[in-house]
Amino acid sequence: MAAIPFDAALLDGYRAVQESGAGPMSLERLPQVRAEDAAEVPTLDELRRGGRFEVTSRSVAGASGTSGAELLICTPAAVSGPAASRPAIYFLHGGGYVTGDPRHLFFIGPLLDEAERLGASLISVGYRLAPEHPHPAPLDDVHAGLLWTVEHAAELGLDADRIVVAGTSAGGGLAAALSLSVRDTGGPRLAGQLLMCPMLDDRNDSASAHQMDGVDVWDRSWNGFGWKSLLGSACGGPDVSPYAAPARATDLSGLPPAFIDVGSAETLRDEAVAFADRIWRAGGSAELHVWSGGYHTFDLVVPDAAISRAAWQARRSWLERVLAA
């Protein structure tokens, strides 16, 4: 099966990513990858963007007193203060469950722009990472953080009925898992779920996974490493929880409205499309975009490309609609 060609405007970015991170992923390589990520994490002062944002960090205890979630709360200064009743974007970072940081501008930079435009708070969540902390640790952390956010909504100046959970890659899968979890545990209610190139299926065996193997910047090697780190020996087997791999869920009814997007030329294409289709079959609301010639996180790698601007415009339109509902 021939690989799908990339959008021409994305090629320089693709080559740069391949030059900096080509080759299979492994436990031996993981410390290097984490160190490279950590070197790019900005300070809180840098995140304040010259006073345009108020930025604070809170630690929320997880299950059984574990270290739990770190909440990075970024609020546009123009709408700050407890008297406001702002929407919130509750964001879960990518990194294949094995790396990443809630402050990393690669993930949250565009969302800071959206938060400022919407007058919303961006709450970027740090969760424990695999393989040191396998499932359910990441989900426990982000669930505890969401409960804390809703409980303290008045203090934070938030409207608890206008919280969208969002995530990229592993964070997108975790956002889908969190939506399932809060549905099944009785709340809190979410206004929507924004799933950007989400990791949803631990089986790593779709047509697109094989088609783009060794080509996409996030291929079967990296995807498989992330899932095996999260799930251990259970990965790919019959007993994986839908709260770990949302593609395993048998019931997708009763979920908050979803926005799902993915590139046509990426490993995760087919599982994202299938997830949207199953939400529709269950009578739910899902808006699906498949960006022609897009590889994994293309919009973050080459943000100025026309296809990337179109992707953010579509997300912006959806956010405006669900937060106004």
Give, for all 325 residues of the chain, the pLDDT tens digit.
Answer: 899 999 999 999 999 998 887 678 899 999 999 999 999 999 999 999 999 999 999 999 876 666 779 999 999 998 766 666 899 999 999 999 999 999 999 999 999 999 999 999 999 999 999 999 999 999 999 999 999 999 999 999 999 999 999 999 999 999 999 999 999 999 899 999 999 999 999 999 999 999 999 999 999 999 999 999 999 999 999 999 999 999 999 999 999 999 999 999 999 999 999 999 999 999 999 999 999 999 999 999 999 999 999 999 999 999 999 998 7
| Summary count for the chain: helices (H), strands (E) | 12, 8
The structure tokens listed for 48 are 């304040």
Kind plus residue range of the DSSP H or E element containing 278 = helix 269-281
Question: First and final CA of the chain: distance in angstroms?
Answer: 43
As a whole number of angstroms, the distance between CA 61 and CA 144 comes to 7
Q: For 298-322, b where at least 16 C-beta lie within 10 A, e where not — what string?
A: bbbbbeebebbeebeeebeebbeeb
Shortest CA distance to 200 belongs to which of 256, 140, 242? 242
What is d(CA 302, CA 80) in angstroms, rounded to the nearest whole number?
Answer: 31
- How far is residue 178 from each of residues 145, 167, 238, measured CA to CA in Å? 11, 11, 21
Query: How many other C-beta atoms lie within 10 A of the C-beta of residue 118?
Result: 21
* pLDDT at res. 63: 66
Coil, strand, or helix at residue 303? coil
At residue 194, the pLDDT reads: 98
Length of the chain: 325
pLDDT given for residue 308 in this prediction: 98
Q: Which pLDDT does position 158 carry in this prediction?
A: 95
CA distances from 33 to 27, 99, 123, 218 (A): 10, 8, 25, 14
Q: How high is the pLDDT of residue 64?
A: 63
Angle between helix axes 137-151 and 170-184 (nearest 10 degrees) is 60
pLDDT computed for residue 131 by the predictor: 98
Query: What strands, in cross-sheet order, belong to the sheet with 69-76?
Result: 53-60, 69-76, 121-126, 86-92, 158-168, 192-196, 258-263, 286-291
Say if CB 121 and CB 112 are below 8 A apart: no
